[in-house]
Structure 1
Amino acid sequence: MDDKILIPISFFLMIFGIVYLIYSTRNRERLALIEKGVDASIFFNTNQKNVPAWKVFVINTAFLLIGIGVGLFIALFLTTYTKMNPDVVYPATIITMSGIGLLVGFNKAKDLDK
């Protein structure tokens, strides 16, 4: 068996294991609560207003792309006007600004609930 095929197989097995663990644990928790006589309506919170998932996805994606663009601009600025190594500056600034963009997107998505 080729070694390159083991990586995708192990990746999908890992994803399957995580999903299975989440659903089986959730099921066991719910069964334990139902056995204790707790009303099943606690699983379905109807008085909470929910923001559609696509809006949160669009906001987070937009801020991620903005962060990548700003990271590229700052990296270009740093490599042009300083003697920093471009092999280090580009990934560092792109990853940092992407993280900041995701943080801002998370905070904006939280504000959608209000």
Structure 2
Amino acid sequence: MADTILVTLIIFSCIFGVVYIFLTTRNKERLALIENGADAKLFNSGKKYSFGQFILNLALLAIGVGVGVLIGALLNNLGVEEGIAFSSSIFIFGGIGLMSSFFMNRKLEKEEK
């Protein structure tokens, strides 16, 4: 009981520490840029992803994992070891889902331009 509480506390404190260090460092960099006369909008030049693209990525990943579970069950029935059948097919079809979402997002970006 105490072990699970300690592990949970350590995990959340590590996540908090990483986020805190990231935000603090980003703030210091921006303040240094402002002091030197540079524009702080330099950090905002990256590409913005829309909510629809995120949902598309998540949906195709979930579809890929679902298909991977089905294929894993079929492979298990054919005699492949259970751990190998499920884990390999989940990762393979999840990756295929993410790759297809990449190509679909790229196609959507070309259509917008």
TM-score by length of 2: 0.77
Shift of 1:44: 4.4
Structure with the bigger percentage of helix: 2
Task: Find runs of 4+ consecutive structure 1 residues off by over 6 angstroms.
Answer: none
- Structure with higher RCO (Cα < 8 A, 6+ apart): 1
Alignment TM-score, normalising by the size of structure 1:
0.76
Question: Structure 1 residues 18, 37: closer, same or farther in 2, change over 3 A?
Answer: same
1:59 match:
56
Aligned-residue identity in percent: 40
Q: Cα offset for 1:113?
A: 3.5
Q: What runs of 5+ residues in structure 2 fail to find an aligned partner? A: none
The residue identity in structure 1 corresponding to 2:65 is I
Between 1:94-103 and 1:24-33, the stretch displaced more is 94-103
C-alpha RMSD over aligned residues: 2.5
2:39 corresponding residue in structure 1: 39
Give the Cα separation in 1 of the matches to 2:86 and 2:22.
37
Match of 1:69 in 2: 66
Structure 1, unpaired ranges of 5+: none
Quote the Cα distance in structure 1 between the aligned partners of 2:8 and 2:28: 30
Q: Distance in 2 between matches of 1:19 and 1:113?
A: 30
For residues 98-113 of structure 1, the aligned pairs below 5 Å read: 98-113=94-109
Instruction: Give the letter aligned to residue 65 of structure 1.
Output: A
Q: Relative to structure 1, is the Cα distance of residues 51 and 70 closer, same or farther in structure 2, using a 3 angstrom cutoff?
A: same
1:85 shift after superposition: 1.1
